[in-house]
Amino acid sequence: MLRGFYTAASGMLAQQRAQETLANNIANSNTPGYKADQATMRAFPELLMQQISSQQTPVKNGSKIGTTKPIGSLNTGVYVQETIPNFQQGDIRETKLQTDLAIVQGDVPDDNGALFFTVQNEAGDVRYTRNGNFTLDGEGYLVTGQGYYVLDQTGNPIQIDGTEFSVTPDGVIETNTQYVPLGIAYTANVLDMAKEGNDLFNGEAGAVPANANFTMKQGFLEGSNVDAVQTMTEMMNAYRLFETNQRVLKAYDESMGKAVSEIGRI
């Protein structure tokens, strides 16, 4: 019976974590470049139940040989193993702001390959993002909404000479006096990228391969790839599963209470 307590409780905890992940996706459904998280669940190790018995052999001394007969497996619960971002490209929408940039990704050499803007976080480390909602700070540097510097192809912050500039489809910032290639990075496997918050990813990325196709669009933003309707449906399903495990846990609790009070009196 105690195993039933643990199994039902693990189911409740798993659905709670799944619900938190889905709620975070809904909260970021309007965040540019946000990639929805997907909770992956895994069962605890299964126990193989076997019937242990013995049979007598037809010999004079009547010796017995031990035998086992498989009964079936017993699952011991479930847990959320990890959350994996979905890197499917979001919808591209027009904003008409010259500091808004969107990477429209085409064919890339690897099935799980992806392109990112490179930025510098508050610690001075290089990070990656798909959120192109940039602006200019007081010194003319191109920065993210959190104030992180956007980097060029050589890894230096981009300082715009003046307020008017254009961005070519291949990702080059042009002014009357400047020609600065944006620092676009490529990773062959997006599953190696880890979220850090503030729309930043940490991982290994390098130069864009020659056979990777993309278009930089100025005055556009990549929206979140959260499907609000599908996410709400999944949240309702997670809530129902949580309630189901809760009822099972309550039934075990009532049975245990009877076993303690009634059997104890006998």
Handedness of CA 174, 178, 179, 181 (dihedral sign): negative
Query: What's the mean pLDDT in 175-192?
Result: 91
What pLDDT band is residue 59 in, cutting at 50, 70 and 90?
low
Residues 70 and 106 in one domain: no
What pLDDT band is residue 82 in, cutting at 50, 70 and 90?
confident
Residues 205 and 253 in one domain: no
What pLDDT band is residue 84 in, cutting at 50, 70 and 90?
confident
Share above pLDDT 70 across residues of the chain, in percent, rounded to a whole number: 85
Print burial letters for 51-61: b (CB count within 10 Å at least 16), e (below 16). Answer: eeeeeeeeeee
Contacts 24+ apart (CB under 8 A), 67-72: 72/48
Whether the pLDDT of residue 50 is over 60: the answer is no
Residues 62 and 136 in one domain: no
Query: What's the mean pLDDT in 249-259?
Result: 79
What pLDDT band is residue 79 in, cutting at 50, 70 and 90?
confident
- Hey, what are 44's tokens? 């605890």
Give helix 228-265 / helix 2-27 axis angle, nearest 10°. 160
**Number of neighbours of residue 172 by Cβ within 10 angstroms:** 16
Residues 99 and 207 in one domain: yes
Question: Rounded to whole angstroms, how far apart are CA atoms 36 and 235?
Answer: 14
Which residues, including other chains, have CB under 8 Å from residue 165's CB and lie 6 or more apart?
98, 173, 174, 175, 178
Per-residue confidence (pLDDT) for residue 250, from 0 to 100: 85
Residues 11 and 65 in one domain: yes
Lowest mean pLDDT among 62-76, 82-96, 135-149: 62-76
Model pTM score: 0.77
What pLDDT band is residue 235 in, cutting at 50, 70 and 90?
very high
Residues 114 and 155 in one domain: yes
Question: Rounded to whole angstroms, how far apart are CA atoms 148 and 146?
Answer: 6
Residues 68 and 113 in one domain: no
Per-residue confidence (pLDDT) for residue 56, from 0 to 100: 55
What pLDDT band is residue 150 in, cutting at 50, 70 and 90?
very high
Residues 208 and 236 in one domain: no
Report how many domains make up the chain.
2
Across the chain, mean pLDDT equals: 85
Question: Rounded to whole angstroms, how far apart are CA atoms 142 and 113?
Answer: 26
What pLDDT band is residue 264 in, cutting at 50, 70 and 90?
low
Residues 43 and 137 in one domain: no
Whether the pLDDT of residue 65 is over 70: the answer is no
Per-residue confidence (pLDDT) for residue 258, from 0 to 100: 74
Q: Which domain holds residue 107?
A: 92-222
Whether the pLDDT of residue 46 is over 80: the answer is no
